[in-house]
Structure 1
């Protein structure tokens, strides 16, 4: 495990976990432990993961000019007021986007920090909506993925492009998005832009993540799918555990 490897290298350690063997091992070794409770799936713990790591690194002086988490929380609350479950579809762009994606394979693009958010969108669409999805980082996608948009031509209508935009993105990236739209023309008519809002880079990342999480749940509802269980993933872990003799519960969280 990463914990064992770090100990072998005699690295300074702090553990963040919900429990299991990692909590037991750190307690036994006298290593600082930040433990939290999570009543849902691991993918729902992103707030704990980001918040605890951010505060830990900030207090250790390892982040230069750390963002205040207060404005991040405020930005998330404002986002929920705009696109939360209680907002009707005709006034809710996240629900409208889910309808646009419904029956298609979404391909999510993002630049810089938004590329990590795009990856999160992909995995949430997989796990919550139980749907195929892909993601591409910009500008790397301009060196390869753009050529892959040509074939098979029959697939064009089955794809839906989502561009995650950051109001602080470089002008060169904004121009790339514009040029790509012009070049792809009719092959990329099914697309939407989602602009991440917030007063800081961290706020924009977290609102971008929350936006995608909600879209994935709304899409699950359209597919009449319960977003919570990950049945195939659980089956995969169980079969691999039987084959390797490992712990299928993932106790080292």
Structure 2
């Protein structure tokens, strides 16, 4: 009877150890976004029916599932357990299929996602000029965002701040020597670019990177499926 290939066995272990680490990173990032005060104020201040927390919760679930699958793959390879390897294969196959479906849906409904982003940001504009105490946290979060990413307002620039502009103008102000990215508003040099434009430009610049990462994950997952099934068959033939 054929034995188990040590190369396949330890390659499977290393692959799943890295897979497990990826799960930890995804889970940690999703939890950080979930508990971050700034991100929560930006995402949850609108009155739209779309709850952005759903995407974060899905990432938390995905990270946890990847960790579990990585653990099953590592143990299945070291202990030569066909049961664990089969569970790993089925779980990884389901993730790959869901990833393909998500990619198809993402391409199909891209315009709807853009509409949701626009709707959320346009809805939040009213909070910038509001004097309501409930809007203060959102205003402070956006002020920090503006200062970090050199944008001003959400949709129409500094004018979005209305009567609150003077209070939060510092986060919109350009350096002492203004450049072409700046304009004058109420006697102050402020950034021309509204934050909605910054967000759209950011997505456009990184869409190729996102597609590349997704494709890379699909290749890695396919290799994981091949390794696990080869090892599964070799253990059965011992």
Higher normalized helix content (fraction of residues): 2
Larger Rg over CA atoms? 2
| TM value normalised by structure 2 | 0.25
| TM value normalised by structure 1 | 0.24
Higher normalized strand content (fraction of residues): 1
Q: Which has the higher contact order (CA 8 A, sep 6+)?
A: 2
